[in-house]
Structures are given as structure tokens and as C-alpha cells.
Chains A and B, each alone.
Chain A
Amino acid sequence: MRPDDLKFQQTHEWVKIEGDTATIGITDHAVSHLSDLVFLDLPAAGASVTIGESFGEIESVKAVSPLVAPISGEVLESNEGLSDNLEWLAEEPFGKAWMIKVKLTDTSGDLMDAAAYDAHCKAEG
């Protein structure tokens, strides 16, 4: 089961909000559907991210997919080791494969809890 202290959005990013900081990654469902990951592009510290807009790209053998921000804010840190260790995404999508930490300015996006996200994944197949 997915951790129940996370929120999820339809495009399969997760966000963990702690005070005014958010940690963002992509879910096990996304990782399993992308499969054969080859490249990850994340924003540097200081970049701003906006709800519903792309903050980076993840590339699999077949396609490039945007990473969509579930919240808005300023990037504090990106996971430096992840680009060279994409297998972390399959191993610990909610742990060591976090992507960016953001200082929050807006959390008004359409986010789901774990149960609702689970239903969303089942509906998508």
C-alpha cells in the first residue's frame, strides 16, 4: 500500500506536505507504466514550479513524459543522485526516489488521498 501521509494527483505525482515544505515524486503506478526509464530532467534549486505545469521530464525507451507539479512554490533542492540511479524509482518511489523539495506558495491543486488515488489507478487500468 502507498503511504497514507501523501497526496496524489491524476497524472501520478505524489506530494508530501510538511509545514511549508513539499516533497514531490512519482508513484509506483507511474513507474510501472513508464518502464525502462532512461532519462530524468529535474529543475535546479531556485526554480519555481506551478500547479498543473511541467517541472521536468522523465523519458522511457518509448516516450518522454512531463512531470506535472501538484503544488506551486520554489525549488529548495532536487534529488541529485536520482538521475544516475533511475532504478531507485522502481525500488522506492516514495522514499529515496523523491524528486524535488519545494518551499510552498500554493496548495490549491486537485489532490487525492491514497484511497481515492487507488480507485483512480484501478479505473485507468
Chain B
Amino acid sequence: MQTTALESVHVAAGARMVPFAGWNMPVQYRGILEEAKTVREHAGLFDLGHMGRVKVYGPEAEAFLQRLQTNDAASIKPGRIRYALILNDEGLTQDDILLYRNPRDDGFFVVINAGNAQRDLERMRALAADFDCTVEDCTQSLGMIAIQGPRSQDITQQICSGDLASLGYYAWMDTEVCGVQMTLSRTGYTGEDGFEAYVPHGHEQAVWDAFIQAGAAHGLTPIGLGARDTLRHEAGMPLYGHEIDETTNPLEANLGWAVKLNHDFVGKAALERVTAAGGTGRKLIGLTTHSKRCPRQGYPIAAGEKTIGVVCSGSISPTLSESGTPTNIATAYVEEAFAEVGTELSFVVRGKAEPCVVTALPFYKRAR
């Protein structure tokens, strides 16, 4: 089991630790509902040390990345970030990633999922053999700490030398946080404003403590992976192994916006074949229900008596339930004919059909 530099900090803070993608990670500190509310209303601090972090540099780094992934690396400006996918030869999703072009334009940075890190790195190294570039796994040499929530900028600005107000969404910069040189991006996985800091190894605890101290007056608390999953689900963001995996393509997952056909990436030909044939016939949708039962991954979705889909992720929605009506949410793949918003369907729990309705994604969008 791998551990992040912050494991003892989590244990001391009373976190419940669980194995996640081979890492011992905090799933919750106080309770998922309370932690989700903290992030929506104040701010939360996340240890993301398990995420894979990879530097890519060299004369042909850009050409390599164009081959590796679906978005257009050539059009990313220095200091900007794009969401992208790595596909296999069949056009099915091997991972979703964030692709950063360095602020000084001297290479790229890629953040990959913990559960796919080894497979991604093998793919990257194999592909890189054809290009003049270096793929450097920095997962051990860099920590990753995120702050998310409406108070994120106020808190972070207290300990960060750079001007955060000038840092746009999906942009990053070289800066100092509590005196430590690092890179910081305006990104996240909760649907809230916030930052992700890439902290040189050895400084993780000092930076974590500095955030906690700076945030104390703003309601900042540490947040576990349980609430993180609920928050991303409300915000309509896919999670590998749920909405996307090696049985789905990005188009049916509503991720066509991250696929740019102006370059020759792995999986492109297969994706074009599927498109030419009229698609896969199914689509990822959102569902809401006021049933007492909650749709869960793998539950069948039915229209009348007929099974027409399956649940990817399901959870109660703490934010939508704030109105006073308990609301559960789910994502599901359904046959396209049943994908229209407002369509009344059911999810099946132990043989019993519970009503739900197709709902536009995301379930939650913050006021800007």
C-alpha cells in the first residue's frame, strides 16, 4: 500500500483511512454530508497525493502529446490547462487527464488517475520511444494539495505570493506558497472555485498546515475522498470506473468537447468509424429521484418493463436536498431514445422499480 506524505496528519485529524487505488487515503473526517456542505459553503482541503503526476518535455513533447491524447495540445497557450482523454486503439477510454502547458513554455505536465497511473505510464513510455521527448513520473517528487470552495481564493492569497485574482480558470502559475516555490492551478473536481498546488516533496506538511491555519477563520476543514466523490458527481464530472472506462467512448459520455479531430491520436480512427456508423446508440444522462432508495452503480434502468440502461454513479445529493426535499442523483447510460430531459424512467433495486426522471447535467452549478 502506498502512502502520501500527509498520512499521519490525516490519522491525527481523526480521518478514517481506506485503501483507494493502492493508496491509503482519508475517506472521511467528520461525515460525507457535513464535509460536502463545508466545501459548498466555505472551503475544504484535500490531499490528492495519490493522483499521478507526469512531466513531459523535450523537442517533440507536443507531437508526442498529440499522439497520446484527444485534445489539441498545440493550441494550449503557456500557463493554460485542458481536460483530455487517453483512448485505446478501439477508441474506448483508458483515462481522463488534465494537460498543462508550462507557464514558461518549456514542456508539459499531465495529471492522471491513481487507478490508471501504471497503465498510463506504460502507454506513455511506449509511445514516447517514437518521439524526442522525456516522460518523467513525478508522483513521488511532488505532492498535490487542493483547496476547493468559495473561500479558496481569500484563504490561499494569505499564504501565496502570486496574484490569484489574475489567475484564470484552468490556468496555472509558478508561485510561492508559505515560502515554498511551486506551481498552482485554478482547477478542481468539486464544481467550486479553487486551486490545486503541486508541492515539492518534503514540504507537504508545512503547506497543509499553512492552509489549515490560514483557513481557520474561513471555515476550512480537511475533506475526504467520500465527499469529493459526492461533490464531483453533483457537478456532473465523470469518474473513471463509473461514467468512463474501457467499455465507453468519449462521445457517448458527452465528452466530445475534449476530442479534437485535427490531429492523429490513438483511437481516432476507431472513434470516426463509430461516428460514421451512427454512434453507439446510447448516451450518458443524469437522473434525479425523490425515492427513499438511491440508485447505485450497476442498478438497471427501465422504461416500463424494459431494461434500457444501467447506473454509473449514484448518491444522495446533499446540495439539492438543501431545499428540504431529499433528492438522490445518478448518472446512467441509456438507449438514446430515452435520453431526453424530462423522460420518466425507473431504477430497479432488488427487483423493485423506483421512479426517476432524466435531468440535465450537471446537477449542480455554482453561481458565478
Contact = CB atoms under 8 A, between A and B. Distances in A.
A122 interface: no
A112 interface: no
Interface stretch (A42-50, A56-64, A97-105): A56-64
Counting chain B CB atoms within 10 Å of each CB, which of A38, A57, A61, A64 scores highest?
A61
Contacts of B293: 39, 59
B28 A35 contact: yes
B16 A61 contact: no
Q: Which interface class (under 10, 10 to 19, 20 to 34, 35 or more) fits A?
A: 10 to 19
Nearest to A59: B294
Nearest to B230: A61
B259 interface: no
Nearest to B293: A39
B68 interface: no
Counting chain B CB atoms within 10 Å of each CB, which of A35, A36, A63 scores highest?
A36
B230 A39 contact: no
24 contacts: A33-B16, A35-B28, A36-B31, A36-B33, A38-B294, A38-B316, A38-B326, A39-B292, A39-B293, A39-B294, A57-B350, A59-B294, A61-B32, A61-B226, A61-B230, A61-B316, A61-B318, A62-B32, A62-B226, A62-B229, A62-B230, A62-B315, A63-B296, A64-B296
What are the 6 tightest A-B residue pairs by CB atom distance, in nearest-first order? A61-B32, A36-B33, A36-B32, A35-B31, A36-B31, A39-B292
Interface string B237-256: 00000000000000000000
A64 to B, nearest CB: 6
Contacts of A33: 16
Nearest to A40: B292
Q: Which interface class (under 10, 10 to 19, 20 to 34, 35 or more) fits B?
A: 10 to 19
Interface in B304-346: 315-316, 318, 326
Interface string B52-89: 00000000000000000000000000000000000000
A36 B31 CA distance: 6
Contacts of B28: 35
A98 B41 CA distance: 36
Interface in B14-47: 16, 28, 31-33
Interface in A38-89: 38-39, 57, 59, 61-64
A32 to B, nearest CB: 9
B296 A35 contact: no
A38 B326 CA distance: 10
Nearest to A64: B296
Given A62-B315, A64-B296, 5 more contacts: A36-B31, A36-B32, A36-B33, A61-B226, A63-B296
B296 to A, nearest CB: 6
Contacts of B294: 38-39, 59, 64
Contacts of B292: 38-39
B33 A61 contact: yes
Contacts of B318: 61
B230 to A, nearest CB: 7
A64 B293 CA distance: 10
A7 to B, nearest CB: 26
Given A62-B226, A64-B296, A35 B316 contact: no
B150 to A, nearest CB: 22
Contacts of A61: 32-33, 226, 230, 315-316, 318
A39 B289 CA distance: 14
A18 to B, nearest CB: 31
Nearest to A33: B16
Contacts of B31: 35-36
Contacts of B33: 36, 61
Counting chain A CB atoms within 10 Å of each CB, which of B33, B229, B294, B315 scores highest?
B294
Nearest to A35: B31
A89 to B, nearest CB: 14
Contacts of B32: 35-36, 61-62
